[in-house]
Each structure stands twice: as C-alpha cells, then as structure tokens.
Amino acid sequence: MAERNEVDWVSRFADEVIAEAERRGSGKPIVCASGLSPSGPIHLGNLREVMTPHLVADEIRRRGYDCVHLLSWDDYDRFRKVPAGVDPSWAEHIGKPLTTVPAPTGSPYATWAEHFKAPMVAAMKELGIEVHGISQTERYTSGAYRDQILLAMRERGRIDAVLGRYRTKAKPGAVARQGADEEAALAAAEGSGAATEDDGATAAGYFPYKPYCSFCDKDTTTVTSYDDETTELSYVCAEGHAETVRLSEHNRGKLVWKVDWPMRWAYEGVVFEPSGVDHSSPGSSFVVGGQLVREVFGQDPPIGPMYAFVGISGMAKMSSSRGAVPTPADALEIMEAPVLRWLYARRRPNQSFKIAFDQEIYRLYDEWDTLGRKIGDGSAPPADVAAFGRASRTATGELPVTPRPVPYRTLASIVDVTTGHEEQILRILRDLDPADPVSALAEVRPRLDRAQAWVETKMDADQRTQVREEPDTALLAGLGDTERNMLRLLLEGLDAHWSLEGLTELVYGVPKLQQGLTLDASPTPEIKVAQRTFFALLYHLLVGRDTGPRLPTLLLAVGAARIRKLLSA
C-alpha cells in the first residue's frame, strides 16, 4: 500500500480521509463533497470540482468503506450576470435566486438553475460519477438550516472578528498554500477575496444573513436591525421595500457565502472537499471557513486540497458568465468517457492541464492506446496503471469501451474521406487488417461516433479532404521519369500490399525501391527527402493539396480502382 501511495494521489488522499474519519469517530458514512452553481454553463474547469472528490470517494468505496459523495447545487445563489448570448432583458432578474429566474428562451426547463443543471447531471451519469445531490434552495426554504442560521446570528460578533482579520489586501509576494501552481500564487498575490466580497458588513453592524426581499424577490437588501431574543430582523431593499420578519420562522434568505460554506461542512459532517485556487488565497472562503467552522460551528474543517485550473487549448481561463465555454457534454461528444476521466485522474489536483479540442486529440488517444498496450504486457508504471484503472471503471463496475480500439486519427481520416458514409467506412475498416477484419461498425463504437462528431464539428473546413473526381492531367503530363517510375512502383504494389500495414510499408518503400534498395532498408537522409517529395506528389494528385490524412488510410479510403485512375497519365 505505501509504495502504491507514493505514486497515486487518489490513494494518498483516500488514506488521509479514512484516517481523519476514524479520528472523528462519528460512526456515520464518510462524506466527500462538491459544490456547483448552475449560474451558467458548467464547464470542464468545474468538472474538476466534482471529479476530484469522486475519485477519492470511489477509492474509499473500493476498500469497503461506506462513503457518500454529496453534491451541493448552489441554486439558491443570486443571479449575478446575464451571460453572453442571452436576451439582455434577463437583467431584470439580477439579484433573484437562480431557482426563480426563468430559463433561457427555448429551454425545456422551467428555471435557470434546472436548465444548466440538466446537462451536467447527464454528463455525470455517462462518466460514472455517482453523487447525492442537494438543492440549497430546498435546504434553505424548508427551514433545514434554521438552527444554524440563528447560531450564526448570535455569534455574529465572533464571525465579524474573524473576517476582520482579512479585510485588507494581501501583502505583495503572498503565496497560496503549499503545492499551488503559478496561477494560485498570482491569485493570492492579488489580494484577499474578503476585500471585495459582500460578507455581511453594514452601516448598522455586521449580519451574516441576507434575506431575499419578499416583495421583489431580490437580495439587494440591507439588514438594519436584529433582536437576538425575539429573532426579529428588519431590512430594506434597493427598490424601496422594507419589512420586519422573525428569523425563527423566515425561510427566504441565506447566510453570506463565507459563513454558508463552513456551516454546511458542520451540518453535513464533510471530511473531504477540494477547492479551486481562487478559494485558497489568504482571506478567501476556504481559509476563513476553516476558522469559522471551528470557532462558531464547533467542527473540524475538511481535508481540502487546492485544485488548479483546467483550460482549453487556444482559450483563456473558462468562465460560465462569458458563455460558449466547453462543457463536459461537449467533451463527451468527441471523446469516450474513460478518456475524459483519465485526463483528471492522471494529474494531481494542484497540476493544471489543458484539454484540446483540436488535432491534439489524436495525440491524446495515441497516448491512451499506448498505455492500454503497456498495461496489457505489464510494462506500465504503477501510477499509470492506477490512473487507467480509475478512468476505466468505478467501484460499481466497468465503463463502456470500444471493443476494437482502432486509432482515433485513423477513424477520423476515414470519416473525413467518406463524409461519414457507413458502407464505405466499413469497407475501409475491413481492409485495415485483412487477417482480422472488422465485421461490423459496432466493433469500433462508440469511438467511431466520437471521431465522426469531431470531424463534423471541430475539424477546420480547410482541412477537410476532397478527393479529386478526375486526374490532374496537367500535373501528370509534366512529371519527370523519376516521379513516373515511383507512381508505377506504387500502382504495381497495391494488390500485394492492400492493408493498412502493407500500404504503410509500400508508400514509405517506393523511394527505396527507386534507389535500388529493398522495402525494409533503413532510410538514409536522402531517402527521407525523397519520401517527403513523393508524399507531397501523391497528396496533390489525390486531394489537390500538399498534405492530408495519413497516406495509407487515404489510399484505403480512395480504393484501388480510383487510385489507378487518378495516378495514371
């Protein structure tokens, strides 16, 4: 166990969480937690908030412990901003709970919160992420937190004192918690989150509870007085409304975030919950919450690793409010669930990484397939074996995989050249390995479907392949003897080399044969130059460009008869 844990971050955290739960001795299931706000598209950066505790909770369950992964839907948060692409008239709802804001136009869902929760729920199901979902709207409006709210109001002086320690900018050079990456250090240096966040301070004093106005349903309210004995709370709102309520009966409001989060840790008995770099700088929610949960709510804070940002190649830091950010559902359209899980499992939480939606996905799948082969022959390092296993299966079972893992780049090339024609796709797949041909497209699904979606939605239009209908007679007529001889050698070898492996040997070997060498001769620098020149000639004659899909795949897709037509003078 110890040796494995040195290389496997999930197991190390599982060890710590189990030890912490045993120290607490509650006798209840171990609680790992996440929180998501359905204020806009829940993107691939947000997925790390869920994937990190999922992997740890899943490892704990694999060891036979009772463990629950709570997912708090922060759907009682205020509607802060109208995302790009949404009708600007939705600005009239700013300040209302997300569960009372209408969904965007055309949505099948009734509320803003449900509209943005639904795709994430579906993606988590496909990814094998099992959670116990909690609606914070339901929690607050049902009165479930009433005792905790009254406690926070009684202890508002103590809370204010804790927050007061952080109501200044962090000193230059401040750094985030140990293990944070460069982005975390920058976030810390920019100053305390408490310096700008509404934490409950008012001209009349400090109050950690913020009501939603009973008249306009917005949280643009200011508490003006509170009586501890009667629990009477008075407030005014920015639109001129005023009201006095009994907090012992009032269910239309919530604790400010920096008090709400530690309250939930104590209420749910959370042992493990990660936080992003923006929550880990001095004075931020996680740091302050760790003190409040002890000093006010009488519980220990959770083990809370910082997780770094997840980015998309060619895109700045993701933000739900900007709109058009890639979501888990978007990623699952072009990659299989185990591969997406692997991206998160193989990196420690404090390591940032990027997810490429461009041609880098070819390299990603090549790495995944290579790892699978190494695991099969026993040559993979322990950490890689662990990450692959966590990506491929959960404590409850295996995730769906493609029976015949044909390289992703090959499938994409075939889909590109055939424009998705299934009969043609199957014909080419059968020719890839005549000794063990693919007999049905089901053997290469769902990977084939993911590659097809990538070609149709992510491949640049100028990279799409259009095979010539007629020979380029002008180019053919102008060829010299060397080029004509290489084309002849290729055409003569087609039948004997008609497989992916055979055509690979042939196209690389023709320049060798031209020089009087054998197909398996080691290429000299001169041969490599001749190969590049030959490849460019073939691309021009077949697709009218300098480059294109890998030539062996392209030749299989074009078919022997059409190749002869296009390459013959």
Same domain, 445 and 555: no
DSSP string, 522-540: PPPHHHHHHHHHHHHHHHH
Residue 373 phi, psi dihedral angles, 5° rounding: -65, -40
Parallel, antiparallel, or unpaired for β 393-394 and 397-398? antiparallel
Domain that holds residue 419: 408-463
Find out whether 111 and 103 touch, Cβ atoms under 8 Å.
Answer: yes
Other beta carbons within 10 angstroms of residue 91's beta carbon come to 12
DSSP 8-state symbol, 544: S
Same domain, 152 and 86: yes
Same domain, 424 and 520: no
Same domain, 509 and 413: no
Angle (CA) 165-264-158 rounded to 5° is 30
Does residue 239 form part of some domain? no
Same domain, 415 and 281: no
Same domain, 29 and 177: yes
- Interatomic CA distance for residues 448 and 65, integer angstroms: 38
Same domain, 14 and 105: yes
- Interatomic CA distance for residues 44 and 318, integer angstroms: 8
Q: Which CATH number is 527's domain given?
A: 1.10.10.350
The tally of CA atoms less than 13 A away on the side-chain side of residue 205 is 18
Find out whether 165 and 266 touch, Cβ atoms under 8 Å.
Answer: no
Does residue 104 form part of some domain? yes
Q: Summarize pLDDT for 374-431 with one digit per residue, the tens.
A: 999 999 999 999 999 999 999 999 999 999 999 999 999 999 999 899 999 999 999 9
Does residue 282 form part of some domain? yes
How many domains does the chain divide into? 3
- Interatomic CA distance for residues 510 and 490, integer angstroms: 6
Tokens of 347: 């990196």
DSSP 8-state symbol, 93: G
Same domain, 451 and 481: no
Tell which of 307, 340, 367 closes a domain.
Answer: 307
Parallel, antiparallel, or unpaired for β 353-355 and 310-312? parallel
Same domain, 155 and 101: yes
Per-residue pLDDT of the chain (569 residues; tens, 9 = 90+): 434 445 689 999 999 999 999 999 988 999 999 999 999 999 999 999 999 999 999 999 999 999 999 999 999 999 999 988 889 999 999 999 999 999 999 999 999 999 999 999 999 999 999 999 999 999 999 999 999 999 999 999 999 999 988 876 444 444 333 333 444 333 333 333 333 457 888 888 999 999 999 999 999 999 999 999 999 999 999 999 999 999 999 999 999 999 999 999 999 999 999 988 776 666 778 889 999 999 999 999 999 888 988 988 755 544 444 446 899 999 999 999 999 999 999 999 999 999 989 999 999 999 999 999 999 999 999 999 999 999 999 999 999 999 999 999 999 999 999 989 999 999 999 999 989 999 999 999 999 999 999 999 998 888 899 999 999 999 999 999 999 999 999 999 999 999 999 999 999 999 999 999 999 999 999 999 999 999 999 999 999 998 889 999 999 999 999 999 999 86
Same domain, 426 and 279: no
Tokens of 140: 């607050």
Same domain, 297 and 421: no
Find out whether 136 and 122 touch, Cβ atoms under 8 Å.
Answer: no
Tell which of 288, 307, 326 closes a domain.
Answer: 307
Find out whether 336 and 342 touch, Cβ atoms under 8 Å.
Answer: no
Beta bridge pairs of residue 69: 32
Parallel, antiparallel, or unpaired for β 201-202 and 205-206? antiparallel
Other beta carbons within 10 angstroms of residue 501's beta carbon come to 13
Give just the sign of the alpha carbon dihedral 41, 47, 48, 52: positive
Of 103, 199, 85, nearest to 152 (Cα)? 199
Same domain, 104 and 30: yes
Residue 225 phi, psi dihedral angles, 5° rounding: -165, 160
DSSP 8-state symbol, 272: B
Question: At which residue do the structure tokens 């060798």 appear?
Answer: 512
Does residue 374 form part of some domain? no
